[in-house]
């Protein structure tokens, strides 16, 4: 099934092999068969089980928003349906750790409680620690370190039933 995403501007280079590999991993994780990504005037479409198709044609629709990818996917299973998403309560820049050399606040697989700081969103030079607000196991970190996030943007996926 198809998921539409718009890459966060400037901090994600769609044609970086490492990123493409991460995307494929994400696709496998969420059982997606096709991903269609746009960044400015360029786009990439990846089909699982098929070939990687890079499309460089200018996109008629120039607008892109740092909107959530996984949110638009239709839940495939009961497991997917019960997933909780920690959303950004503010506008700013997402950091997964308190400093460039510090360990990440959370990793995939970690069990967390509501008080646990899961990330930092920096706005106007103020580093705001974001609490989980939910309990469960971290399933996915949905935003790149250092990427801009908007209000309501999904940051971290948590499985409450795990």
Q: Tell which one of 106, 153, 155, 158 touches another protein (CB under 8 A).
A: 153
Sorted by sequence, the CB contacts under 8 Å of residue 62 that are 6+ apart come out as 40, 41
CA 43 to chain centre: 18
Q: Smallest Cα–Cα separation from 11: which of 122, 81, 93, 87?
A: 93
SS3 19: helix
For another protein, give the closer residue by CB, 89 or 162.
Answer: 89
CA distance 85 to 148: 17
Give the binding range for another protein (CB under 8 A) out of 31-39, 46-54, 77-85, 150-158: 150-158
Q: Does 151 bind another protein (CB under 8 A)?
A: yes
Q: Does 123 bind another protein (CB under 8 A)?
A: yes
Q: Does 58 bind another protein (CB under 8 A)?
A: no
Q: Tell which one of 24, 26, 91, 162 touches another protein (CB under 8 A).
A: 91
Q: Tell which one of 17, 57, 62, 81 touches another protein (CB under 8 A).
A: 62
Q: Does 17 bind another protein (CB under 8 A)?
A: no
Sorted by sequence, the CB contacts under 8 Å of residue 21 that are 6+ apart come out as none
Q: Tell which one of 148, 154, 155, 156 touches another protein (CB under 8 A).
A: 148
């Amino acid at each position: 099934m198809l998921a539409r995403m718009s890459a966060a501007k400037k901090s994600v280079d769609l044609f970086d092999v490492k990123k493409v590999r991460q995307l494929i991993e994400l696709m496998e994780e969420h059982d997606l068969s096709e991903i269609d990504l746009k960044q400015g005037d360029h786009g990439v479409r990846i089909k699982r089980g098929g070939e990687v198709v890079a499309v460089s044609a200018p996109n008629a629709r120039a607008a892109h928003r740092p909107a959530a990818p996984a949110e638009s996917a239709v839940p495939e299973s009961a497991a997917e349906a019960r997933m909780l998403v920690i959303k950004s309560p503010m506008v700013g820049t997402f950091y997964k750790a308190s400093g460039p050399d510090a360990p990440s606040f959370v990793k995939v697989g970690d069990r967390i409680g509501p008080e646990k700081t899961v990330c930092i969103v920096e706005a106007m030079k103020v580093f705001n620690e974001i609490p989980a607000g939910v309990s469960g196991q971290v399933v996915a970190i949905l935003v790149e370190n250092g990427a801009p996030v908007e209000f309501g943007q999904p940051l971290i996926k948590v499985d409450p039933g795990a």
